[in-house]
Amino acid sequence: MSWKGRTADIERPPIAEINALASELEGQGRDLVNLGQAILGLPPPVKAVERVREWIESTSLHVYAPDPGQPEAREAVAGFLRERKGIEASADRVILTCGANQAFVNSILAVTRPGDEVVLMVPGYFDHDFAVKLAGCVVREAPLRLEDGRYAIDIEALEAAMNERTRAVVLVSPGNPSGMVATRRETERLCEMCARRDVWLVSDEVYDLLTFPPVSHVSPASLGIHEKVIVLGSFSKVFALASWRVGYYAGPADMIEESIKVQDALVVCAPVPSQVAAMGAIESVDAYVPAAVEALIERRDALMDGLRGWSTVEALAPEGGTFLLARLGVVDDVEFCKDLLRETGVVTVPGSAFGAPGCVRISFGNQPAERIAEACERMRSFSA
Ligand SMILES: Cc1ncc(COP(=O)(O)O)c(C=O)c1O
């Protein structure tokens, strides 16, 4: 019998292969354009870093902090949720984590038992699939519906994926890699369905403020339809603080209290310097986010324009997030991304990593518009 445990049920994501190849080529001195990572390639808010500098100078004790987070950081996140997303949040219903990924793990471990089922929408974010399986639960997939050039939530497909063992449904909006921002009506219907079936709705909102007008994000927790909503947030995306590993989740008081057991077992608390950076980021939201979205739109347009002349791909206009999904005229997307990287030095991510074979995810958030235009020129010279 193999010594392997739960990890044996998970396939290594093809993204790891692409990253390994990229490192190898970089080692050979190749000039790569990375359109792989789903991040905002901008410096984080100045205040976030300043606050950390002040904190280091004023602190002599470096001890464990309260599990759910510094009281001021919890209050800052609650204020953000109230003011920016219309969620009736309070500090005691928020926990700071090492990124939204850990927030997802905490949430799933707190509301499921092994053997329970969790419904994920596809195309979707592979780490959710991994986390559900690592929790000993079963993943049920429900496809998003491609309609009028955008992805939409398919309530019928979700219902078909559910049964009496279903504990939770996961929504990612803005969606990775779909670029979908669920409409208010879709979100309402999803809440109504989850309320009727009495299942948790885990709402991953890490790209929340990164939407493209006239589209904007609606949190299911702001609608007052369903009590059992857990909101996941991150400072990695909107505030470009990915290396600081800080995010959060907010939910009903009893769920939050219960999940502190998971928090303690995994990390005790999110790194305090990162929580301080998070507070600085929230203070900067008005000054920082509009400019970040403007830069993102310029980058998105550079990519959409550049891809227009490339008959190999058919790009879907994203409604939010830092990337787009494009359909390929070829079948093996993993080989496609590797060949593209070897020949042109452009890093992209195969759609099969997200349950979208035959597609490629191309990020525009992490490169200036000129660099994206150059990447497109290189890609157009590549014949799949
Ligand atoms: C949908 C989604 N959720 C969560 C994460 C991870 O966020 P964090 O850096 O806060 O762990 C990502 C990162 O790519 C993501 O795309």
Nearest CA to ligand 1 atom 11: 99
Contact call for residues 165 and 195 (beta carbons, < 8 A): no
Which residue, 41, 23, 20, 40, is CA-closest to 32? Answer: 23
Q: How far is the CA of 102 from the centre of ligand 1 (A)?
A: 9
Strands (E), the chain: 33-34, 94-97, 117-122, 138-143, 145-147, 150-152, 166-172, 200-204, 229-234, 247-250, 313-315, 323-328, 346-347, 349-350, 359-363
Nearest CA to ligand 1 atom 1: 176
Per residue in 101-127, pLDDT (tens digit) is: 999 999 999 999 999 999 999 999 999
Q: Which atom of ligand 1 is nearest to the CA of 247?
A: 10
Q: Does 332 have pLDDT greater than 70?
A: yes
Residue 39 pairs with which residues in a beta bridge?
Answer: none
Phi, psi dihedrals of residue 94, rounded to the nearest 5°: -130, 140
Amino acid residing at 273: P
Supply the pLDDT for residue 342. 96
Amino acid residing at 88: E
The CA distance from 147 to 286, in Å, is 34
How would residue 328 be classed by pLDDT, with cut points 50, 70 and 90?
very high
The domain 6-44+287-380 is placed in CATH, from the list 3.40.50.2300, 3.60.40.10, 3.90.1150.10, 2.30.30.60, at 3.90.1150.10
Which residue is listed with tokens 């369903």? 226
The CA distance from 121 to 356, in Å, is 11
Supply the pLDDT for residue 329. 82
Structure pTM?
0.97
Over the chain, what is the mean pLDDT? Answer: 96
The sign one gets for the Cα dihedral 30, 32, 36, 37 is: positive
C-alpha distances (whole Å) from 214 to each of 84, 150, 210, 217, 369 are 16, 14, 12, 10, 22
Write the burial class of residue 198 (CB in 10 Å: 0-12 exposed, 13-18 middle, 19+ buried): exposed
Length of the chain: 384
Contact call for residues 204 and 131 (beta carbons, < 8 A): no
Supply the pLDDT for residue 146. 94
Q: How far is the CA of 275 from the centre of ligand 1 (A)?
A: 17
- The answer to whether the 6-44+287-380 and 46-283 domains have the same CATH topology is no
Per residue in 239-281, pLDDT (tens digit) is: 999 999 999 999 999 999 999 999 999 999 999 999 999 999 9
Q: Where are the domains of the chain?
A: 6-44+287-380, 46-283
Query: Which spans in the chain are helix H?
Result: 14-27, 46-58, 71-85, 99-111, 126-134, 155-160, 184-197, 253-266, 272-283, 285-308, 333-344, 369-380
Sorted by sequence, the CB contacts under 8 Å of residue 166 that are 6+ apart come out as: 116, 117, 118, 119, 140, 197, 199
Q: Does 6 have pLDDT greater than 80?
A: yes
Supply the pLDDT for residue 213. 97
Which residue, 195, 194, 150, is CA-closest to 175? Answer: 150
Supply the pLDDT for residue 384. 59
Q: How far is the CA of 206 from the centre of ligand 1 (A)?
A: 6
Which residue, 180, 179, 232, is CA-closest to 201? Answer: 232
Per residue in 42-53, pLDDT (tens digit) is: 999 999 999 999
Per-residue DSSP letter, 41: -
Within 6 Å (CB) of ligand 1, which residues are found? 38, 99-101, 125, 172, 176, 204, 206, 234, 236, 242, 247
Q: Give CA angle at 356 (352, 359), nearest 5°.
A: 85
Strand order in the sheet with 323-328: 313-315, 323-328, 359-363, 349-350
Q: Does 151 have pLDDT greater than 90?
A: yes
Instruction: State what percent of residues in the chain have pLDDT above 90.
Output: 93
Per residue in 214-242, pLDDT (tens digit) is: 999 999 999 999 999 999 999 999 999 99
Q: How far is the CA of 98 from the centre of ligand 1 (A)?
A: 11
Q: How far is the CA of 2 from the centre of ligand 1 (A)?
A: 31
**Residue of 120, 176, 180, 323 with the most ligand 1 atoms within 8 Å of its CB, for mutation:** 176
Q: Does 310 have pLDDT greater than 90?
A: no
Per residue in 162-202, pLDDT (tens digit) is: 999 999 999 999 999 999 999 999 999 999 999 999 999 99
**Residue of 98, 107, 125 with the most ligand 1 atoms within 8 Å of its CB, for mutation:** 125
C-alpha distances (whole Å) from 336 to each of 218, 306, 328, 332 are 35, 18, 9, 6
Q: Does 383 have pLDDT greater than 80?
A: no
Provide the CATH topology of domain 46-283.
Aspartate Aminotransferase; domain 2 (3.40.640)
Supply the pLDDT for residue 331. 80
The CA distance from 249 to 39, in Å, is 20
Considering only CA atoms, give the Rg of the chain.
20
Contact call for residues 282 and 77 (beta carbons, < 8 A): yes
Amino acid residing at 44: P
CB atoms within 10 A of CB 340: 22
Supply the pLDDT for residue 13. 77
**Residue of 106, 171, 237 with the most ligand 1 atoms within 8 Å of its CB, for mutation:** 237
